[in-house]
Amino acid sequence: MRDDLRLNLNQMVRLSWTPEMRQALRILMTGSAELAGLISQEAEENPVIEMGDEDGDSSSIAQDTGEDEGPDWLDYFQDASDTGYVPPASPDQTCEDIPSAEPSLQEFLEQQVRMSTDDPGIQRAADFLIGCMDEDGYVRISPGEASVLTGLGRERIDTALRMVQTLEPTGVGARSLGECLSIQLESMGLGASVAARLVRSCLPDLARQDFRKISAALGTSIGEVKKAAACIRKLDPRPGLRVASRNAPPYVVPDATIKDVGSGSVHKYVIVMNESSSPRLRLNARYRAMLSESTLTGEERSYIRSKIRRAIWLFRAVEQRRLTLYRLLETVLLHQRDFFEGGPEKLHPLTMETVASGLGIHESTVSRALANKYVDTPYGVYPLRLFFSSGVADQGQGRSKESVKRMIAGMVSRENPNQPLSDGHICEFLRRDGLRISRRTVAKYRHEAGIPPSTRRQ
Residues 403, 351: contact at Cβ < 8 Å?
no
Give 422 or 393, the one with higher predicted confidence: 422
> Could you read off the pLDDT of 396-426 as tens digits, one per residue?
556 777 778 888 888 888 888 888 888 888 8
Question: Can you tell me whether residue 90 is helix, strand or coil?
Answer: coil
> Could you read off the pLDDT of 112-121 as tens digits, one per residue?
998 888 888 8
For residues 265 and 53, give the distance between their C-alpha atoms in angstroms, rounded to a whole number: 41
For residues 321 and 327, give the distance between their C-alpha atoms in angstroms, rounded to a whole number: 10
Residues 89, 319: contact at Cβ < 8 Å?
no
pLDDT score of 326: 92
- In terms of residues, how long is the chain? 458
pLDDT score of 85: 34
Instruction: Check if 105-172 and 391-456 are the same fold.
Output: yes
Confidence of residue 325 (pLDDT cuts 50, 70, 90): very high
The fold of the 391-456 domain, in CATH, is Arc Repressor Mutant, subunit A (1.10.10)
> Could you read off the pLDDT of 345-388 as tens digits, one per residue?
788 888 888 888 888 888 878 888 888 889 999 888 888 888 88
For residues 292-308, one letter each, b for 16 or more C-beta atoms within 10 angstroms of the residue's C-beta and e for the rest, the string is eeeeeeeeebeebbebb
Mean pLDDT of 295-319: 87
pLDDT score of 251: 66
**376 beta partners:** 257, 381
pLDDT at 54 over 60: no
105-172 is classed in which CATH architecture? Orthogonal Bundle (1.10)
What are the domain boundaries of the chain? 17-85+249-389, 105-172, 177-238, 391-456
pLDDT score of 434: 75
For residues 345 and 405, give the distance between their C-alpha atoms in angstroms, rounded to a whole number: 9
Radius of gyration for the chain, computed over Cα atoms and rounded to the nearest angstrom: 27
For residues 281 and 289, give the distance between their C-alpha atoms in angstroms, rounded to a whole number: 18
User: 194-201 and 177-187 helices cross at what angle (nearest 10)?
Assistant: 170
N- to C-terminal Cα separation, the chain: 91
Confidence of residue 13 (pLDDT cuts 50, 70, 90): low
- DSSP letters for 283-323: E-HHHHHHTT-TT--HHHHHHHHHHHHHHHHHHHHHHHHHH
pLDDT above 70: percentage of residues in the chain: 82
